[in-house]
Amino acid sequence: MDGARPGNVIRRQPHSTRRSPLEAAVALALLIIAYWAFSATRSPSNVSRANSGGGCNFPAIFNFGDSNSDTGGKSAAFHRIPYPNGVTFFGKPSGRYSDGKVILDFVGGSTIEPLNTRIFQGGYSPISLDIQLWQFEQFKARTLELHEEGSSYAKTGLPRPEDFGKALYTIDIVQNDLHSALESMTEEQMLELLPSLTTRLAGAVDKLYQQGARAFWIHNTGPIGCLPFSVITYPPEPNNVDGNGCVASHNEIAQALNRLLKDQVSKLRLRLPDAKLNFIDLYSVRYSLISEAKKHGFADPLGCCCGRYGDRHFDCWKKAVVNGTEISLTPCRDPLKVISWDGVHYSHAANEWAAERIINGSLSDIHVPLLESCPNPASP
């Protein structure tokens, strides 16, 4: 859940307020869903601020994603994401896998595949895209029911019925699928997996459209071969390294997926002509930053602020044992100079740099900025 603005979806009710069983169920579902399966806000700060000059006024943003866009979901559902996460911007853990904000914060941990043995054993979030969709459908149905009953709680603490059709729906989810596959498949097998991933994602857009969604921002995946985790875990051979020192074959897999995903978006536009579908080239902006890190004030593009000790990668909030000695991994002195926060997720500074270029539409395949991505007024 993003920032604490007066119009936020969740509001704490006085202890003396008694709710009906349905209200209590929706309140519980909202606490789980909004923090766990998707992020939802009313009047996102950047959208509202920029909207003073005209353009869209999205009443809410619903995000379906993994830990790169999670603003507190996994933390609320399972366990608090510990220090040093959040150290740069919030000064304390904030439910984000970063030292500060993720891209969604500037615009206003899951997989596409359902949970299976491969994904479970890899330690990835069990909240797949299918589950996120199901929970959203339940949340919307219960919210509308409460409004029909005239619930005061619905009026003050839940989205309005019309908000669902006017909201922005963002989808930023696939990196975990690729990481999970890398741990258990050959690269040839991974390439065979990609069509099913993009088909599932397109199916999710269809389902959201049936629920009234009309404005979509769909992010492709970034250069996974440039993540410090990949470079450490899968040291590239001389014939498999690109000009930036990244694992070339891993980036080729990401690009192959992105081509398939773009084709799916093109097909969606034909099926859903009244929807506004923006396909955002996150790969290009991430790779550009890595390629020109020093030009933009960043240090080693393949380094990370925490989580690395020599040639090994660890969770940066855990103690590690190296050669029989327990060590505590501390974050770097200046997280604003790094692109990767923990070897897997991007830093606050890198997310801000990318978000600035996403919002203006320069990464959209139809070159439409955020504030011109409104759904058709005539759409439900």
**What is the C-alpha separation between 98 and 349, in angstroms, rounded?**
10
DSSP 323: T
CA distances from 367 to 55, 145, 278, 364, 371 (A): 15, 38, 8, 5, 12
What is the distance between the terminal CA atoms of the chain, rounded to a whole angstrom?
Answer: 25
Q: Which of 335, 285, 300 is nearest to 84 (CA)?
A: 335
The residue to which tokens 């990835």 are assigned: 124
Q: Are 88 and 157 in contact (CB under 8 A)?
A: no
Q: Which of 342, 339, 347 is nearest to 329 (CA)?
A: 342
Q: Residue 333 is encoded by which pair of tokens?
A: 């002195």
Reported pTM = 0.74
Residues serving a catalytic function are 67, 342, 345
Q: For 117, what's the count of Cα atoms within 13 Å in the CB-facing half-sphere? A: 1
Residue range 312-322, pLDDT digits in tens: 666 776 666 76
**What is the C-alpha separation between 376 and 88, in angstroms, rounded?**
39
Structural domains for the chain: 56-296+349-372 (3.40.50)
**pLDDT in single tens digits along all 380 residues of the chain:** 333 232 333 333 333 444 454 444 444 444 334 433 344 444 444 444 344 445 778 888 888 855 555 555 555 555 566 666 667 766 666 666 666 766 566 557 333 344 344 333 444 445 566 777 877 888 888 889 889 988 888 888 888 999 999 998 989 877 778 888 888 899 999 999 999 999 999 999 999 999 999 999 999 999 999 999 899 989 999 999 999 999 999 999 999 999 999 999 999 999 999 999 999 999 999 999 999 999 999 999 998 888 766 676 667 766 667 677 776 677 888 989 999 988 888 999 998 999 888 888 999 999 988 888 887 654 44
User: Within a 10 A sphere around the Cβ of 226, how many other Cβ atoms?
Assistant: 26
DSSP 304: B
pLDDT at 262: 97
Q: How many residues does the chain have?
A: 380
What's the count of helices (H) and strands (E) in the chain, helices before strands? 14, 9
Per-residue buried b or exposed e for 334-370, using 16+ beta carbons within 10 Å of the residue's own CB: ebbbbbbbbbbbbbbbbbbbbbebbbebebbeeeebb
**What is the C-alpha separation between 227 and 177, in angstroms, rounded?**
15
**What is the C-alpha separation between 143 and 21, in angstroms, rounded?**
13
CA distances from 64 to 40, 42, 129, 131 (A): 10, 16, 7, 10
pLDDT at 225: 95
Amino acid residing at 271? R
